[in-house]
Amino acid sequence: MATGSQELGQILPIDGIRIATISAGVRYQNRLDMVLFELAAGTRSAGVFTLNAFCAAPVVIARQSLKDSAGDVRYLLVNTGNANAGTGPQGMTDAQACCKAVADATGVDVRQVLPFSTGVIGERLPSERIVAAVPEALGALEVDSWLLAAKGIMTTDTRPKAVSRVIEHAGKRITITGITKGAGMIKPNMATMLAFVGTDAELDQTLLSSLLQSSVEQSFNRITVDGDTSTNDCCILSATGRSGVRVTEADKALFDAFSSALHELVLELAKLIIRDAEGARKFVTVDVRGGGNTRECLQVAYAIAESPLVKTALSASDPNWGRILAAIGRAGVENLDVSKIDIYLDDVAIVKQGGLAPSYREEQGQKVMNQEDITLHVELARGECRELVWTADLSEEYVRINASYRS
């Protein structure tokens, strides 16, 4: 179950990046569950990682290796079916063994191999299966394989998630392509479950990191399915430089064009997660305006987006606006003057100045709630800040998926 079109558009290869997607039997036989990215020499990579205190072993290793290598990464090794989280020292040993297998087979420093895992928490990673599959993966590396990789990193996702963007500059062309996975346990506190973005532009390490952080903040850090931040969240941006176009802040026109394209791509990936949220039938934008600062806008937006009562009403297409009002009231905004608050379903005013809008009719709200795409718009009348958060409804299918996740 998912919302919106399944059409992804053309997914473009990135010069300097080859990818292999195979079955290693991590949890299930004959299922794509291992992806290997090969990054050409000279590629720079930046990353953001989960802030969950129980972060998985691969997160610990990838974060440290990225720092130790100063972004000079050559391989990204991804497995699904097992998160290698909550596995203690053994989890670190298993993740390191997988990285070492790639390093030994390719002659690179082990710190140039970053591991990524997603799947069931608390079970030992069958590292021997991944190690045994490394030769096959190296032999299967291809340039035009992003969409297959998007399928290979799926867990409870029902569809692959991939986006490409092209920038034309001074007769040259820059390409950006990204993939992501995630459908549940989604409230990124950095990025999302897993995301990999590549570009053939050339950027220095500082600028690459800065652009990734700002892109993530307004995209992956603005979505929620169930309010749960994963133990394994990672997002990596790799720039190969093969286009021959160097992006710097000194060339403002190029910088703005690249920055805008990257932000749009990452935001689209984030929205694809919400459209494929576990059991989703609604794609919901929570638009909070008139806040005194970013923090209080997000307090209100997430109070609405993560309310089980609001989300179940959305699932039932029930215009029960009192649940939205109640969520705003408990969001924790200090000195909130409820007599100034307006609430809209799309452009239908349901609450004006803290009470039922005189013009509101139930059939108006019902018409909006019957839609697949809905905007919940709140006016706080406290300042000029605005924040957007994207979420989905909470259906019986979500409960079924998570009740039987390990079976």
Closest CA to 35 of 115, 93, 132, 144: 115
pLDDT, residue 405, reads 79
| CA distances to 287, 316, 395 from 280, in Å | 19, 12, 7
**Alpha helices per DSSP H over 116-234:** 127-139, 146-152, 205-217
| Domain(s) of CATH 3.60.70.12: residues in the chain | 17-275
pLDDT, residue 379, reads 98
pLDDT, residue 303, reads 98
Stated as kind and residue range, the H or E segment containing 63 is: helix 57-68
Q: How is 282-343 classified by DSSP, letter by letter?
A: -EEEEEEEEESSHHHHHHHHHHHHT-HHHHHHHHTT---HHHHHHHHHTS--TT--GGG-EE
Angle between helices 308-315 and 321-329 (to 10 degrees): 160
Known active-site residue 93: no
Closest CA to 273 of 399, 401, 149, 389: 389
pLDDT digits (tens, 9 = 90+) for 295-318: 999 999 999 999 999 999 999 999
pLDDT, residue 6, reads 80
Query: And the tokens for 65?
Result: 């290796």
Would you tell me how many other CB atoms lie within 10 Å of the CB of residue 298?
21
- 200/236 Cα distance (integer angstroms): 14
Residues of the chain with pLDDT under 50: none
For 283-403, CATH gives 3.10.20.340
227: Cβ contacts below 8 Å, ≥ 6 apart: 187, 302, 306
This prediction's pTM = 0.96
Bridge partners, residue 82, by sequence: 118, 120
- 254/336 Cα distance (integer angstroms): 43
Q: Reading across the β-sheet that carries 172-181, which strands appear in turn?
A: 44-49, 234-239, 194-199, 172-181, 161-169
DSSP state of 71: T
Which of 175, 192, 231, 391 is flagged as catalytic? 192
Q: Backbone dihedral region of 86: left (phi > 0), alpha (psi from -120 to 50 degrees) or beta? A: left
- 289/293 Cα distance (integer angstroms): 10
pLDDT, residue 363, reads 97
pLDDT, residue 137, reads 98
- Domain 17-275 sits in CATH 2.60.40.1930: no
Percent helix, strand, coil in the chain, to 5, is 35, 25, 40
Instruction: Give the pairing type, strands 44-49 and 75-82.
Output: unpaired
pLDDT, residue 192, reads 67
pLDDT, residue 1, reads 65
| Domain(s) of CATH 3.10.20.340: residues in the chain | 283-403
- Residue 202 corresponds to which amino acid? E
pLDDT, residue 5, reads 80
pLDDT, residue 7, reads 83
pLDDT, residue 251, reads 96
